[in-house]
Structure 1
């Protein structure tokens, strides 16, 4: 059975590296999370200062030690530049074998395929290493960009969870999308070598 135990392994594709976030990523995290268009439908908090960004990185890394979450920084390999983060907000093995992912990308890099690569790395890790059967994502219905992204990554919308999230604006619905291990395996077989 999968045990995280504080380990945040490096994962990589052609253009990006997913790695443990470090304190020196704080300026980029602060810049990304300060963009209203990034926070608008994601539920991530606005950071007050650079030191709060360092604290957030420490908090996100600590989640892996208690197995309450697993978060990677997304880094462009060619420039070693931090451009976003992604990971498992939670997972449950025994009795469910499911996990929920979350992600955000600096709006400077939207539409360039980086998040698609990151999601594929998460799916590969979740299904091959963690042994998950189902991977879910919760999306604000107003976030059409995220909905299109997950549908393109073979997720299927299953429905709406009413008043599921609470923000400073009140309660909001979310759409739940999922991909099953069998769906993912079929997609792997269809991909050209």
Structure 2
């Protein structure tokens, strides 16, 4: 079995983090963003940055993104914000443990994180309006977890490039 090479990652740019959060927000506000099976891209990107850059993207950014999603979805103000803050908290808490596992096993942690976020939202909707969502609503978390390896490869790609290319040096 051939060993997988380890990459030394460059520091992430705060501008790149802001762009990824903005793109995730734009993907969420698309008309197809509320269909069954379309994941919450903001939650997925918040989990990614909470795991890979816990000092740069924390609960404050998660709260602001949640308020933006609340205003966009015309939901109870703070519903998405609370879910995103809890999601960010648990992603930051588990970030060392999640990174210990290979990418295929990280999917299970991400599934649990995304499911818990959606269950918080369902619970808040039930408490406030006595309205329950269909269990099909939870498929979004499964799709988001399945997208985790792709999201990881795409968002880590700018950090994997070398500063200066040298054919004699392997790193």
Answer whether TM exceeds 0.5 for this pair. Answer: no
Greater relative CO (CA pairs within 8 A, separation 6+): 2
Relative to the length of structure 2, the TM-score reads: 0.29
Q: Which has the higher helix share?
A: 2
Relative to the length of structure 1, the TM-score reads: 0.26
> Whose Rg is larger?
2
Q: Which has the higher strand share?
A: 1
